[in-house]
Amino acid sequence: MASYILAIDQGTTSSRALIFDTSMKVVGQGQKEFRQHFPQSGWVEHDPEDIWDSVVFSIRTALKRAGLSGRDIAAIGITNQRETTLVWDRDTGTPIHKAIVWQDRRTAEICNQLKNDGLEALITGKTGLLLDPYFSGTKVKWLLDTVEGARKRAEAGALAFGTIDTYLIWRLTGGAVHATDATNASRTLLFNIEKGTWDDELLALLDVPAAILPEVHDCDGDFGITDPDLLGAPIPIRGVAGDQHAAMIGQACFEPGMIKSTYGTGCFAVLNTGETLVRSQNRLLTTIAYRLGGKTTYALEGSIFVAGAAVQWLRDGLKIIGKASDSGRLALGADDNQNVYLVPAFVGLGAPYWDAEARGAMFGLTRNTGPEEFARAALEAVCYQTADLLDAMHKDWNAHGAATVLRVDGGMVNSDYTMQFLADILDAPVDRPHMLETTVLGAGWLAGQAMGLLPDRTAFSKSWALEHQFVPEMDDAQRNAKLSGWRDAVSRTLTAR
């Protein structure tokens, strides 16, 4: 009898697949990176076939390493890079253009025009989002306006839109299912998060025909069955959530006031606000944390576009480290008397600044500044940005009187140097769990509990285990001085002061 769960984690730079047994132990995994395309400054694209090939490779590698076949898999869970946008032909499955990645800034002018027309308040009121190229809606509009014949085909129902989860569901089911989940839908600028439906007024504002939209299900809904020829057996897809929502679930942040912060390509801090839809007064996003059993849980989110990507820049751009894990060691050798700040606005600044036109800058350079100081500045920039997010969250949430708990995950949390500085600059404990693969764990748990193979929310929460807690060691004067220097650097980088 099939008793294993396959979880697919389709990320910005690679795809992974992990197989869990019923004790939530990983028994096999696979991973494959794929190429990034940068056709113009500020543009970021993926080839959909590269994404699909990397997913299939990762699944088959995980099955082989686990010594299993598709017949052993009881269900599939999917988590994905959010906001990355695809439109494809319903008959052939062929995309009309490369996928436009969440980091892409090509629709800044569309966003600015909507702002100038006084529409941001209306859009934010319905979606909880701000007008920024980050989100999917303006990407869809750009595709339909730019690709020859696309708008006419879309209006005729010949095209399908989806974020990466939707595209994978389509491919996995052989084109039988066109669906997404509430978390991914909530990131499109097209979904009313209070009503839980696509919004006709928003569709009209962005010139997006309703005919191209996927159905929206709960995170633990029924997303169809895979084509049996693909993995050797028909397998139910029973869990879907955008990567940050899946990480929140994987971190068992089910109680209001709990925060998880994920450090991958970008950094995303998400605060559970329960059934309360909190309207941010500090330019955070109000979003759907997850929707289970028809019940919506909301969250406040702060999105940082560049976190681990800054370490990739050290490695691939500056070539001052050979591998990402070298960054912490290099940073330890930095001169403490130099106050060097990197504002990593390589693709603009996210929360709480939301400046699409800002570009990266370094401040405080001297003749003595070298690779060590660059490494430290890159790592510390992630922590400073997190401090900005949590400061905004506390302003929005403190009225509710709940204390916060910070749990961290993602590749960067393996760096003790970075996590200690994070605790120092936040003046708060930082909890690193034993299981760092929280995003894919969340996707796996969604599918497994939907099939009755994994524990319910309460039991799953009790299984969360602390690996190390980092506690603040920096004195207030030093912390305040460092934060003051950071905020001065950011102010000099912003284009709209």
Does the structure show a pLDDT above 60 at 107?
yes
Give the pairing type, strands 405-409 and 258-263. Answer: parallel
304 pLDDT exceeds 90?
no
Delineate the domains of the chain, giving CATH numbers in brackets: 4-243 (3.30.420.40), 252-433+465-497 (3.30.420.40)
Does 102 or 184 have the greater pLDDT score?
184
Do residues 119 and 134 touch, judged by C-beta distance below 8 A?
Answer: no
Cβ(138)–Cβ(203) under 8 Å? no
> Tell me: the pLDDT tens digits for 133-184?
989 999 999 999 999 999 999 999 999 999 999 999 999 999 999 999 999 9
| 476-493 vs 416-426: helix crossing angle, rounded to 10 | 100
Comparing CA positions, the residue from 376, 371, 342 lying closest to residue 359 is 342
Spatial separation of the C-alpha atoms in residues 57 and 65, rounded to whole Å: 12
Query: What Cα–Cα distance (Å) separates residue 119 from each residue in 199, 355, 496?
Result: 15, 17, 19
Tokens of 17: 């697949």
Give the burial class of 27: count Cβ atoms within 10 A of its Cβ; 0-12 exposed, 13-18 middle, 19 or more buried: middle
Q: Give the per-residue pLDDT at 405.
A: 64
Cα pseudo-dihedral 77, 79, 83, 88, rounded to 10: -40
Question: Is the pLDDT reported for residue 66 higher than 90?
Answer: yes
Give the model's pLDDT for residue 103: 86
Query: Is residue 158 within 8 Å of residue 89, measured between CB atoms?
Result: yes
Parallel, antiparallel or unpaired: strands 267-274 and 258-263: antiparallel
Lowest mean pLDDT among 22-26, 77-81, 402-406: 402-406
Least confident of 97-106, 347-356, 402-411: 402-411
What pLDDT is attached to residue 265? 80
pLDDT tens profile 207-227: 999 999 999 999 999 999 999
Neighbours of 492 (CB within 10 A): 12
Q: Does the pLDDT at position 268 exceed 90?
A: no
Residue matched to tokens 């996003």: 285
